[in-house]
């Protein structure tokens, strides 16, 4: 990158509506920091794109000058793939428009929008689409990796609800990808990550959700895990699709509905979101309140937007994070016992294990219908190592890896690509399973030079 002349940089600047930031300039340091504080990379250029034309010019510039290119949307990816070292980072975070057509049940979303941006617009009309569990997550990266959230059991994954996308490909063209236009590209971007181009607009199918739902937390002591977790597993099999319950295992945060002597104790929290008629919520949730003797609970009607933000305080930017993940078809007794043991010896009060209970509509889609192939995953576990000080890196990473290894015999062997750290490139094949060969062919067609490689990379066939 040091060979890139100031004349070339000035030429790029003259074409753009957005900013070009160089090291040492105002705004550069802020722009290179992302959600995971373990990532400390220094791009030679950061382009803050203002629209699709800026994206086209930046992609063309990177390709023509042989530059390493990374793409930032929400900047929330665990591997820090938004930032590259010494190359050019295309920053889409200023492209935050969300336009809702309530009559057509469609949302048109730019790639810099977060879940909070999306919810603010869609919930004005009592509408939603399956997108994540943390309001600061970016819509773009979440969707391109497959995407799931609190309403996925009812309405499927994020990519199951993607109707079309505008994509800038490696040759600098802006294409509309849909079921009828460039259908192979449309198939590939629904789970294939950022391997095929830069999406400048997403079109989503919307569904009636909220604005009020029935949800909250029931918190049990970890000592009751041998009773509570198998009982939850049995209840899960008969849950309606509009009820989602995830298990979060960690130390109890100082929640106001928990007794003070429970704060800091190891717990299992049942995180509940019911999007059916609110009046039916108490009856459906009642069995979950009697799996053991809870420390406390906070369950009732609430705005869907509030529930979408409920876990934000535990996932703020600026902490050090390291994840390991598995998919499961079921929750074996041996697995539950092992996870309980690890939660009793957390290396940091911020570390946790969460088990996303999927099933429902996510399992009814054929594995080959989209690039996201993991349609047999009923449970997605994320071992979330999280801590504040670099001195704790070794202990927290070792704990996360130990949980992962112990759980591996019970797992399907596949993985959700959005939960993979950058070191896990050898698991890309596992992320896509039977779809990998087709993805490599589509990659060859749309990005034969592998310009879009600063990701969980699918190499051209």
Distances (CA, A) of 445 to 146, 194, 346: 21, 15, 46
Tell whether 198 and 216 lie within a shared domain. no
Tell whether 168 and 303 lie within a shared domain. no
DSSP string, 277-337: -GGGHHHHHGGGGGSS--SEEEEEEEEHHHHHTTTGGGS-TTSEEEEEEEEESS--HHHHH
* CB distance 250 to 266 below 8 Å: yes
Q: What is the 3-state secondary structure (H, E, C) of 248-272?
A: EEEECCCCCCCCHHHCCCEEEEEEE
* CB distance 431 to 420 below 8 Å: yes
* Structural domain that includes position 26: 6-91
* Domain contains 435: no
Tell whether 53 and 29 lie within a shared domain. yes
* Domain contains 23: yes
Q: Which DSSP category does 426 fall into? A: G
* Domain contains 429: no
Tell whether 219 and 179 lie within a shared domain. no
Q: What is the CATH number of the domain that holds 78?
A: 3.30.43.10
Q: Which of 261, 154, 262 is nearest to 218 (CA)?
A: 262
- What domain count does the chain have? 3
Strand ordering across the sheet containing 320-328: 296-303, 212-221, 266-274, 243-251, 352-357, 379-387, 320-328
Domain end among 209, 230, 260: 209
- The β-bridge relationship of strands 162-168 and 127-128 is unpaired
SS3 184: helix
* Domain contains 147: yes
Q: Which of 86, 83, 108 is nearest to 97 (CA)?
A: 108
* CB distance 243 to 288 below 8 Å: no
- Residues 70-90 as b or e (16 or more Cβ within 10 Å = b): bbbbbbbbbbbbbbbeebbbb
Tell whether 379 and 231 lie within a shared domain. yes
* Domain contains 131: yes
Tell whether 268 and 354 lie within a shared domain. yes
pLDDT in tens, the chain (461 residues): 446 889 999 999 999 999 999 999 999 999 999 999 999 999 999 999 999 999 999 999 999 999 999 999 999 999 999 999 999 999 999 999 999 999 999 999 999 999 999 999 999 999 999 999 999 999 999 999 999 999 999 999 999 999 999 999 999 999 999 999 999 999 999 999 999 999 999 999 999 999 999 999 999 999 999 999 999 999 999 999 999 999 999 999 999 999 999 999 999 999 999 999 999 999 999 999 999 999 999 999 999 999 999 999 999 999 999 999 999 999 999 999 999 999 999 999 999 999 999 999 999 999 999 999 999 999 999 999 999 999 999 999 999 999 999 999 999 999 999 999 989 999 999 999 999 999 999 999 999 999 999 999 999 99
Distances (CA, A) of 318 to 39, 152, 328, 443: 10, 29, 30, 34
Tell whether 163 and 226 lie within a shared domain. no
Tell whether 221 and 204 lie within a shared domain. no
* Domain contains 442: no
Domain end among 28, 60, 91: 91
Q: What is the CATH number of the domain that holds 251?
A: 3.40.462.20
Contacts of 247 (CB under 8 A, 6+ apart): 229, 232, 268, 269, 270, 271, 354, 355, 357
Strand ordering across the sheet containing 162-168: 98-101, 106-109, 198-205, 162-168, 174-178
* CB distance 167 to 248 below 8 Å: no
* Domain contains 359: yes
Q: What is the CATH number of the domain that holds 153?
A: 3.30.465.10
Domain end among 209, 229, 245: 209
Q: Which of 359, 389, 387 is nearest to 375 (CA)?
A: 359
Tell whether 235 and 340 lie within a shared domain. yes
- Residues 288-305 as b or e (16 or more Cβ within 10 Å = b): beebbebbbbebeebebb
Tell whether 380 and 256 lie within a shared domain. yes
* CB distance 273 to 311 below 8 Å: no
SS3 102: coil
Tell whether 272 and 126 lie within a shared domain. no
* Domain contains 81: yes
Tell whether 245 and 348 lie within a shared domain. yes
């Amino acid at each position: 990158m040091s060979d890139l002349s100031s004349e070339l940089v000035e030429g790029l600047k003259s074409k753009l509506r957005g900013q070009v930031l160089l090291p040492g300039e105002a705004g550069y340091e802020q722009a290179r920091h992302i959600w995971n504080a373990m990532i400390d990379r220094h791009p030679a250029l950061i382009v803050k794109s203002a629209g699709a034309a800026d994206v086209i010019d930046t992609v063309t510039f990177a390709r023509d000058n042989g530059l390493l290119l990374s793409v930032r949307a929400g900047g929330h990816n665990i591997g820090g793939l938004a930032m590259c070292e010494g190359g050019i980072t295309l920053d889409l975070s200023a492209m935050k428009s969300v336009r809702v057509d309530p009559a057509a049940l469609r949302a048109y979303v730019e790639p810099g929008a977060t879940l909070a941006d999306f919810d603010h617009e869609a919930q004005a009309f009592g509408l939603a689409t399956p997108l994540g569990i943390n309001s600061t997550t970016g819509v773009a990266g979440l969707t391109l990796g497959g995407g799931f959230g609190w309403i996925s059991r009812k309405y499927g994954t994020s990519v199951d609800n993607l109707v079309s996308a505008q994509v800038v490909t490696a040759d600098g063209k802006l294409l509309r990808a849909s079921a009828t236009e460039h259908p192979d590209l449309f198939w590939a971007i629904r789970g294939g990550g950022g391997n095929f181009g830069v999406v400048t607009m997403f079109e989503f199918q919307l569904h009636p959700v909220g604005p009020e739902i029935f949800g909250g937390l029931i918190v049990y002591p970890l000592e009751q895990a041998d009773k509570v977790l198998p009982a939850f597993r049995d209840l899960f099999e008969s849950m309606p699709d509009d009820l989602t319950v995830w298990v979060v295992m960690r130390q109890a945060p100082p929640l106001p509905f928990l007794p003070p002597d429970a704060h800091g104790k190891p717990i299992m929290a049942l995180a509940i979101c019911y999007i059916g008629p609110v009046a039916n919520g108490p009856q459906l949730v009642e069995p979950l309140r009697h799996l053991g003797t809870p420390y406390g609970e906070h369950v009732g009607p609430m705005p869907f937007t509030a529930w979408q933000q409920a876990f934000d305080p535990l996932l703020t930017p600026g902490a050090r994070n390291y994840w390991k993940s598995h998919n499961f078809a079921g929750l074996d007794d041996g697995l539950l016992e092992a996870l309980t043991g690890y939660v009793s010896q957390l290396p940091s009060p911020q570390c946790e294990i969460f088990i996303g209970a999927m099933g429902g509509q996510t399992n009814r889609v054929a594995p080959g219908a989209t690039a996201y192939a993991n349609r047999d995953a009923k449970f997605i576990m994320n071992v979330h190592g999280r801590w504040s000080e670099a001195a704790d890196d070794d202990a927290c990473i070792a704990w996360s890896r130990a949980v992962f290894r112990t759980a591996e015999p019970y797992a399907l062997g596949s993985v959700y690509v959005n939960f993979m750290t950058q070191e896990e490139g050898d698991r890309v094949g596992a992320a896509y399973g039977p779809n990998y060969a087709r993805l490599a062919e589509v990659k060859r067609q749309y990005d034969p030079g592998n310009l879009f490689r600063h990701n969980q990379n699918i190499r051209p066939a």
